[in-house]
Amino acid sequence: MARLVLASSSPRRRELLQQLGLDFSIYSPEIDENVLEGEIAADYVHRLACEKAAAVQQHFPDAVIIAADTSLSVDGEILGKPESKAHAFEMWAKISGRKHDVFSGVCVRTSAQISSIVVRTQVEFQVLSLKDMEAYWATGEPEGKAGAYAIQGLASRYIPRIEGSYTNVVGLPLHETVELFKAIKVLN
């Protein structure tokens, strides 16, 4: 297999990709991650994954590149990473006691082929009290996480059910990623 490069500095994506038993290096590209006017979450994560893969391919033209991006959407609004405690509380108020969608765009490319997908998982959150929010924020876990929570961490206590891929919510849908590798003949 050609050299594999993960276009992400996310420790969660690194850990998930390691679960597949693959050897890879990491190179995190600098791209503009601003949401385009009128862009919906599925299109946003797909665009960013493909842009990240293309940017890294320029540095490693003979490698297989894998890139991903994950965001939440509630009522058509994209929820990214919290900019502050107040911003996290604002996001939690929007998802508290209801379902929201988590979208991940994944792109696998070589210099000759590109294969990509968007995966959607629905996550249900319990009603969060102000005490819940204060306690969770105090852990530090919400910082740097889309939607200000980590399903694989302490936030799991607030999530009674999901519909779809668990690893998608963590940041890299593994089953679908393997299928993308197969599509460009990286894996059998």
Active site positions, annotated: 69
pLDDT score at 188: 58
Low-confidence ranges of the chain (pLDDT < 70): 1, 187-188
**How many helices (H) does the chain have, and how many strands (E)?**
6, 7
pLDDT score at 80: 87
pTM as predicted: 0.93
Helices (H), 24-165: 41-59, 85-95, 130-138
pLDDT score at 2: 76
Contact 100, 73 (CB under 8 A): yes
Cα 3–chain centre separation: 23
Domain ranges of the chain: 4-183
CATH code for the domain defined by 4-183: 3.90.950.10
pLDDT score at 50: 98
Euclidean distance between CA atoms 124 and 99, whole angstroms: 4
